[in-house]
Amino acid sequence: MSELRQAHEFDEDKDGGSYVLRLLVTGASPNSTRAISNLKEICETHLKGKYELEIVDVYQQPFIAESEQIIALPLLIKKSPLPQKRMIGDMSDIEKVLRSLSLPAK
């Protein structure tokens, strides 16, 4: 799995509240696969049209892992809106992910 950028109906001017997310994973491991699936579902449900998701396989892109100073994977980094936040795990705890993204639960 190489670096994968996915912009889902991303339009900065649409609402002004866009999210830039980076998910660092380790290949096709079960935790990484779950994290990707869970995060995509959360984004499409709660941020549709207002996010950019970058998925980085640290095996393929080790320099990005170094620059982010990771300690555990999978790791979600909310780049914007500020403040930047980090979350480790498979993103299965939807409430925790929403809190980390500063979003209200629906």
Domain carrying residue 73: 4-99
Angle made by CA atoms 60, 31, 22, in degrees to the nearest 5:
55
pTM confidence score: 0.82
Token output for 21: 């997310």
DSSP 80: E
* Exposed e or buried b per residue across 65-86, where buried means at least 16 C-beta atoms within 10 angstroms of its C-beta: beeeebeebbbbbbeeeeeeee
Q: Tell me, yes or no, whether 105 lies in a domain.
A: no
Residue 37 lies in a domain: yes
Which of 12-16, 42-46, 95-99, 102-106 has the least mean pLDDT? 12-16
Residue 104 is assigned to a structural domain of this protein = no
86 within a domain of the structure (yes/no): yes
Indicate the SS3 state at residue 36.
Answer: helix
69 within domain boundaries: yes
**How many structural domains are present in the chain?**
1
| CATH code of the domain in which 17 resides | 3.40.30.10
Whether 18 maps to a domain, the answer reads: yes
Q: Any idea which residue has 């935790």 for tokens?
A: 31
pLDDT of 106 reads 63
Confirm whether 106 is domain-assigned. no
Residue 102: pLDDT band (50, 70, 90) is confident
Q: In whole angstroms, what is the distance from residue 106 CA to residue 100 CA?
A: 15
Is the CB of residue 4 less than 8 Å from the CB of residue 60?
no
Mean pLDDT score, 64-77: 89
